[in-house]
Amino acid sequence: MKQEQNEKALLFGLAKKDRKCIEAIYKDNYNLIQALIVNNNGTVEDAKDIFQEAIMVLYEKVQLGDFELNCQIRTYLYSVSRRLWLKRLAQQNKFSIGDEQHFELAMIDEDSDEHEKRNVDFLMMEKAINSLGEPCRSLIEAFYLEKKSMQEIALNFGYTNADNAKTQKYKCLVRLKKLFFAQYKNESL
């Protein structure tokens, strides 16, 4: 019972991006996943990638207010990591996971598919922002991501007033949307 409560607390902490909770989850599970990956044709680098992606899947789940795991965090992360790694191996045309000590697996299909879709969205936005060029990119990031005011931005970027900065931001935004939606439409066709 106590352990169950503890796990819940960790999940709530994760949803709030509490660093202590994230560290605890990280510390308790990383070595297990690293062993899984390294014993199956992966490198330590791959292990870090996969494990972080698995945490991201869990994070997205609790973000949506879904704290019912039906299994331990450890089982969940293992199952997701295993699935992600199998997929990556398949992409590289390598053989599948072989010597596995029978580790309990959880049903994670939905979460994992949802994550995949978000992953694609993320990469599209990243690509669009990266191909925007300067100073557009910094301008957009300052306004939409860092939520700075137009006055502040005008000052930082050396525009004579907030209106000038606004016009420039508008031009950049139109370009960014064009870049993003061009990819988006390609993807959904």
Partner 1 sequence: MEDNKILEAIERYINGQMSADERMYFEQLRKTNSEIDQAVVEHTFFLQQMNRFDSRRKFKSLLNDVHIDLAEKGAIKSPRLQGNAKVIYLFNRYKRVAAIAASIAGITTLAVSIIFSSVAPTREKKEIQELVNTVGQLKNHNIKQDQAINTISSKVNASGVSPAVDYRAGATGFLIDTKGYVITNEHVIENAHEVYVQNTAGKDLKAKVIYTDADRDIAILKITDEKFKAPSSIPYSIKQTNSSIAEPVYTLGFPRNDVVYGEGYLAANTGFKHDTLSCQIAIAANPGNSGGPVLNKKGEVIGILTAKQTTAEGAVFAIKSKYIFDAIRDLENETLKLPTTSNLKGLERQQQVQKIQPFVYMVKVN
Give the separation between CA 139 and CA 134, rounded to whole angstroms.
8
Contact (Cβ atoms closer than 8 angstroms) between residue 53 and residue 118: no
Q: What is the dihedral of CA 148, 149, 151, 155, to 10 degrees?
A: 0
In angstroms, what is the minimal distance from the CB of 52 to partner 1? 5
In angstroms, what is the minimal distance from the CB of 174 to partner 1? 8
Q: Is residue 145 close enough to count as binding partner 1 by CB under 8 A?
A: yes
In angstroms, what is the minimal distance from the CB of 145 to partner 1? 4
Q: What is the DSSP string of 81-134?
A: HHHHHHHHHHHTT-----S---------HHHHHHHHHHHHHHHHHHHHHHTS-T
Q: Which is nearer to partner 1, 12 or 181 (CB)?
A: 181
> Where in 28-87 is the site for partner 1 (CB under 8 A)?
30-31, 34, 38, 44-45, 47-48, 52, 55-56, 59
Tokens 């694609």 locate to 120
Q: Which of 8, 74, 148, 166 binds partner 1 (CB under 8 A)?
A: 166
Tokens 């709030």 locate to 16
Q: Which is nearer to partner 1, 5 or 19 (CB)?
A: 19
In angstroms, what is the minimal distance from the CB of 166 to partner 1? 8
Q: Which of 17, 96, 113, 161 binds partner 1 (CB under 8 A)?
A: 17
Calculate Rg over the CA atoms of the chain: 21
Q: Which is nearer to partner 1, 107 or 141 (CB)?
A: 141
> Where in 80-139 is the site for partner 1 (CB under 8 A)?
118, 121-122, 125-126, 129
73-91 and 2-15 helices cross at what angle (nearest 10)? 50
Tokens 């988006």 locate to 184
The residues of the shown chain that bind partner 1, judged by CB under 8 A, are 17, 19, 22-23, 26-27, 30-31, 34, 38, 44-45, 47-48, 52, 55-56, 59, 118, 121-122, 125-126, 129, 144-145, 166-167, 170, 173-174, 177, 180-181
